[in-house]
Amino acid sequence: MSYEVIMRRPFVAGNWKMFKTAAEARILLSELLPGLSSIKEVEIVLCPPFTTILPVASLLEGTAIGVGAQNMHWEKEGAFTGEVAPPMLAEFCKYVILGHSERRAYFGETDDNVNRKVKAALTHGLVPIMCVGETLTENEAGITREVVITQTKKGLSGVDSASIASVVIAYEPVWAIGTGRAATAEGANNVIAGMIRSWLSQNYGDDIAQQVRILYGGSVKASNAAEFFQFPEIDGALVGGASLKAAEFIPIVKAAAR
Q: Is 191 in the site for ligand PEP (CB under 6 A)?
A: no
- The piece of 45-53, 73-81, 148-156, 212-220 that touches ligand PEP (CB under 6 A) is 212-220
Binder of ligand PEP out of 144, 219, 234, 249 (CB under 6 A): 219
How far is the C-alpha of 28 from the C-alpha of 40, rounded, in Å? 20
**Residues 12-31 within binding reach of ligand PEP (CB under 6 A):** 15, 17
The answer to whether the CB of 45 falls within 8 A of the CB of 32 is no
Q: Which residue, 9 or 181, is less far from ligand PEP as judged by CB?
A: 181
Check binding of 49 to ligand PEP (CB under 6 A): no
Query: What binding mask, one character per residue, do residues 150-169 give for ligand PEP by CB under 6 A, x or -?
Result: --------------------
Neighbouring residues of 103: CB distance < 8 A, sequence distance ≥ 6: 71, 109
Under rule CB under 6 A, residue 136 binds ligand PEP = no
Closer by beta carbon to ligand PEP, 90 or else 239 = 239
Does residue 70 interact with ligand PEP by CB under 6 A?
A: no
Q: Which residues are catalytic?
A: 100, 172
| 177 lies in the site for ligand PEP, by CB under 6 A | yes
Which amino acid, residue 20? K
d(CA 22, CA 209): 38
What are φ and ψ of residue 55, in 5° steps? -60, -35
Neighbouring C-beta atoms of residue 90, cutoff 10 Å = 18
Question: Does residue 234 bind ligand PEP (CB under 6 A)?
Answer: no
- The answer to whether residue 109 forms part of the interface with ligand PEP (CB under 6 A) is no
Nearest approach, Cβ of 183 to ligand PEP (angstroms)? Answer: 10
User: Applying CB under 6 A, which residues contact ligand PEP?
Assistant: 15, 17, 100, 172, 177-178, 217-220, 238-242
